[in-house]
């Protein structure tokens, strides 16, 4: 029976990874607070919440029937995750929406348990690789179809938005009077989908570089099919994170003189370019518009980020001790600032957002987690470049960290799953590297 529960927990762990980008959810408690976007105030249960609860329930049952010592992984990572959770609890006492903040404290406890599960039960990388491959196989065709059709595909029962580029609120790129629809897939926003695809492609790219036998060929096939979907999200943070993370891996493969890996990466790069060039030529003006972010005054999204960052700084200075409460930023902005020119939303800069919501102590714990992988790599790079598991997990964490400097979803709801998953995988990689 203990073995059955353990296998069941692994099955739901795989499902949790597959379902990370999905927007399908249940509204447990509707709390309309106009003009705030309802997702910021409602109590919601996502598919990943359901699978995570099943995962932890089965794992706990297996531990009861077959007691064993619980490992904490890297002690610094574990202490900082404990610190973040405690800081989140403390923030509820001064939260502008204490009920919602307490609900998200419960989510943080589940994520801490997920980290412990990964550290103790993730013995094979296949339990991450296969679900990530399935995730991208599901999302990429939908995203590509939406981009070509410039509308939704009738998949609303599976959580797809009803997409129409002419409807205000839909994420588009304005070009010469035309509203070009960005790909959503089955996610809540193109940036969320772009991040998930980028993170998944980084894992596949690691298999292509470090894999044996036929695994690089398998990963390359999925990579080439899915790569256009990343481009069609038009998520600049996802593009940047993917480019820098893969360049990081390639650079150190070259430094280690593993030329077979470099040949595979070069061939993949040429094939990827061959796949996306027709799309770029067809939509040249859209791509030019999206990458032309040098002048903030002429780039709406960049102007919004700068404005939100300024207002977030003001709130942090006023509530630096205990924070404004987990996930309470939109309501805090609405109560603090009148005549807000944008929809109320968190600043697109996670290091500030963490400190804003959990106070200075939570911000310190997050910054330690943010810089720890870089510090460890600098101190041990001669060893780590010969450890594929470490390099892949480092690339994933770097990619998530880059996205967190331009968007907030890695700190909010389903996006957190990527962040805690990466910390857990990195902790496991460090353990294996020291064996």
In tens, the pLDDT along 25-65 reads 999 999 999 999 999 999 999 999 999 999 999 999 999 99
Mean pLDDT, range 53-78, rounded to an integer: 95
pLDDT of residue 299: 63
pLDDT of residue 145: 97
Secondary-structure percent of the chain, ordered helix, strand, coil, rounded to 5: 70, 5, 25
Token pair 């460090």 is at which residue?
A: 430
pLDDT digits (tens, 9 = 90+) for 366-382: 999 999 999 999 999 99
Mean pLDDT, range 235-257, rounded to an integer: 95
SS3 of residue 51 by DSSP: helix
Q: Please give the backbone phi and psi of residue 173, each rounded to the nearest 5 degrees, phi first.
A: -120, 115
Share above pLDDT 70 across residues of the chain, in percent, rounded to a whole number: 98
Q: What's the angle, vertex CA 273, arms to CA 272 and CA 275, rounded to 5?
A: 65
Q: Say whether pLDDT at 122 is over 70.
A: yes
Q: Which residues contact 235 (CB under 8 A, 6 or more apart)?
A: 182, 190, 191, 193, 194, 195, 198
Q: Check residue 258 and report its DSSP letter.
A: -
Mean pLDDT, range 215-229, rounded to an integer: 95
pLDDT digits (tens, 9 = 90+) for 365-422: 999 999 999 999 999 999 999 999 999 999 999 999 999 999 999 998 788 999 999 9
Q: Give the side-chain half-sphere CA count within 13 A for 71.
A: 13
* Ranges 82-91, 283-292, 423-432: which has the least confidence: 283-292
Mean pLDDT, range 274-293, rounded to an integer: 87
Q: Please give the backbone phi and psi of residue 152, each rounded to the nearest 5 degrees, phi first.
A: -75, 170
Mean pLDDT, range 267-280, rounded to an integer: 95
Q: Where are the domains of the chain?
A: 72-434
Residues forming a β-bridge with 46: 25
Residue 200 CA: distances (Å) to CA of 121, 194, 204, 403: 21, 10, 6, 14
Mean pLDDT of all residues belonging to the chain = 93
Higher pLDDT among residues 168 and 201, named by residue:
201
DSSP element (H, E) containing 318: helix 300-318
Q: Say whether pLDDT at 189 is over 90.
A: yes
Residues forming a β-bridge with 179: 174
pLDDT of residue 231: 96
SS3 of residue 27 by DSSP: strand
First-to-final CA distance of the chain: 31
Mean pLDDT, range 336-351, rounded to an integer: 92
Between CA 131 and CA 139 the distance in angstroms is 12
Q: Check residue 71 and report its DSSP letter.
A: P
pLDDT of residue 300: 67
Strand 172-175, strand 178-181: pairing = antiparallel
325 within 8 A of 96, measured Cβ to Cβ: yes
Token pair 């979907």 is at which residue?
A: 229
344 within 8 A of 35, measured Cβ to Cβ: yes
pLDDT digits (tens, 9 = 90+) for 298-327: 566 778 889 999 999 999 999 999 999 999
Reported confidence tier of residue 295, pLDDT bands at 50, 70, 90: low
Q: Say whether pLDDT at 13 is over 70.
A: yes
Q: Find how far residue 349's CA is from the centre of its chain.
A: 14
Give the global pTM. Answer: 0.95
pLDDT of residue 288: 87
Mean pLDDT, range 330-353, rounded to an integer: 94
Mean pLDDT, range 197-217, rounded to an integer: 94
pLDDT of residue 229: 97
Reported confidence tier of residue 260, pLDDT bands at 50, 70, 90: very high
Q: Which residues contact 56 (CB under 8 A, 6 or more apart)?
A: 9, 110, 113, 114, 117
Between CA 290 and CA 292 the distance in angstroms is 6
pLDDT of residue 303: 81
pLDDT of residue 294: 47
329 within 8 A of 312, measured Cβ to Cβ: yes
CA dihedral 139, 144, 150, 153 (to 10 degrees): -50
Between CA 223 and CA 155 the distance in angstroms is 24
pLDDT of residue 429: 95
Token pair 């404004």 is at which residue?
A: 324
């Amino acid at each position: 029976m203990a073995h059955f529960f353990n296998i069941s927990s692994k099955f739901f762990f795989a499902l949790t990874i597959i379902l990370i980008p999905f927007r399908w959810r249940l509204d447990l408690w509707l709390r309309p607070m106009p003009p705030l976007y309802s997702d910021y105030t409602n109590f919601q249960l996502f598919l990943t919440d359901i699978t995570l609860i099943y995962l932890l329930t089965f794992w706990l049952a297996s531990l009861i029937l077959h007691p064993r010592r619980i490992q904490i992984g890297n002690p610094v990572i574990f202490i900082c995750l404990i610190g973040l959770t405690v800081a989140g609890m403390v923030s509820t006492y001064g939260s502008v929406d204490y009920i919602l903040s307490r609900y998200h404290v419960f989510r943080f406890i589940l994520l801490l348990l997920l980290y412990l599960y990964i550290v103790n039960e993730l013995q094979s990388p296949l339990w991450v690789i296969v679900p990530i491959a399935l995730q991208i196989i599901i999302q990429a065709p939908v995203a590509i179809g939406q981009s070509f059709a410039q509308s939704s595909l009738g998949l609303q029962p599976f959580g797809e938005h009803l997409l129409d580029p002419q409807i205000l609120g839909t994420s588009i790129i304005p070009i010469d009077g035309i509203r070009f629809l960005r790909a959503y897939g089955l996610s809540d926003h193109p940036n969320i989908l772009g991040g998930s695809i980028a993170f998944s492609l980084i894992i596949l790219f690691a298999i292509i570089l470090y894999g044996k036998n036929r695994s690089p060929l398998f990963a390359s096939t999925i990579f080439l099919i899915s790569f256009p979907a990343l481009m069609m999200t038009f998520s600049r943070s996802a593009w940047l994170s993917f480019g820098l993370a893969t360049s990081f891996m390639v650079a150190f493969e070259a430094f280690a003189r593993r030329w077979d890996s470099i040949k595979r990466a070069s061939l993949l790069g040429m094939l990827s370019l061959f796949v996306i060039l027709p799309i770029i030529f067809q939509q040249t003006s859209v791509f030019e518009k999206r990458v032309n972010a040098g002048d903030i005054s002429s780039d709406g999204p960049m102007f919004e980020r700068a404005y939100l960052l300024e207002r977030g700084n003001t709130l942090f200075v006023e509530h630096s001790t205990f924070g404004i409460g987990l996930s309470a930023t939109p309501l805090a902005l609405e109560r603090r600032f009148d005549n807000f020119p944008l929809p109320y939303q968190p600043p697109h800069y996670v290091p500030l957002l963490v400190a804003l919501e959990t106070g200075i102590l939570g911000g310190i714990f997050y910054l330690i987690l943010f810089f720890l992988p870089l510090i460890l790599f600098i101190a041990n790079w001669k060893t780590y470049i010969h450890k594929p598991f470490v390099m892949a997990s480092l690339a994933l964490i770097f990619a998530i960290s880059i996205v967190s400097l331009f968007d907030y979803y890695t700190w909010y709801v389903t996006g957190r799953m990527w962040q805690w998953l990466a910390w857990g995988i990195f902790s496991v990689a460090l353990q294996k590297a020291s064996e």
